[in-house]
Amino acid sequence: MNILRSVGKHGLVAMPPIVDTTDLAWLQRDAAERLLAKNELASIRRELRVAVLARAMATAPKRVEIVEGLKRQAEAMPLWYLGLLAILAPLAMIGSATWMVVGASIAKHLLGLAGLGLFGAITMQAIYGLTNRLH
């Protein structure tokens, strides 16, 4: 028993209409025009992707704004938390680097790099907060 067909029979699953395969002449008609339209659509899609990416990058916060936000955040954190971050984040960086070296897949290497970047930023933020608070 085909479950999908029996469920579709009762109207519970949307099924595409059955195409009459006896008349396939429409496939041969205007094949060149369809290919041309497909190529035009591909170029339009590329242009649209570039426009969307440019618009997203324009609204993304600038690097200076991110750094200033991280500095303000580090100044608001309690000293005990900054100390804990300064100790544990470098250990997590070592763990990410070890995971990259031991792992044999591309995904592990990419996630290890992401972990190095994240925990590196956390370490820098903790050190910045500690040095500015203690002086």
> Tokens 């339209």 sit at which residue?
37
Is 70 exceeded by the pLDDT of residue 14? no
Distance of alpha carbon 125 from alpha carbon 83, whole angstroms: 11
21: helix, strand or coil: coil
Say how far apart CA 76 and CA 84 lie, in whole Å: 15
d(CA 105, CA 94): 18
Q: Which domain holds residue 48?
A: 29-60
Whether residues 67 and 129 share a domain: the answer is yes
Give pLDDT, residue 10. Answer: 60
CA 62 from chain centre, in angstroms, equals: 19
Q: Which two tokens stand for residue 115?
A: 């972990």
Q: Domain count for the chain, please give it.
A: 2
Same domain, 79 and 42: no
> What's the pLDDT at 35?
61
Q: Please check whether residue 5 lies inside any domain of the structure.
A: no
Tens of pLDDT, residues 68-126: 888 899 999 999 999 999 999 999 999 999 988 887 788 888 899 999 999 999 999 99
Whether residues 74 and 130 fall in one domain: yes
Is 68 found in the same domain as 117? yes
Q: Which of residues 60, 82, 103 is at a domain's end?
A: 60
Could you count the other beta carbons within 10 Å of the beta carbon of residue 8? 13
Q: Looking at the structure, tell me whether residues 37 and 91 fall in a common domain.
A: no
For residues 54-58, average pLDDT: 76
The verdict on residue 19 lying in a domain is no
Share of the chain above pLDDT 90, in %: 31
Q: Would you say 62 and 96 are in contact if contact means Cβ atoms under 8 Å apart?
A: no
User: Does a structural domain hold residue 21?
Assistant: no
What pLDDT score was predicted for residue 52? 81
Q: Please report, as a single letter, which amino acid is at residue 18.
A: I
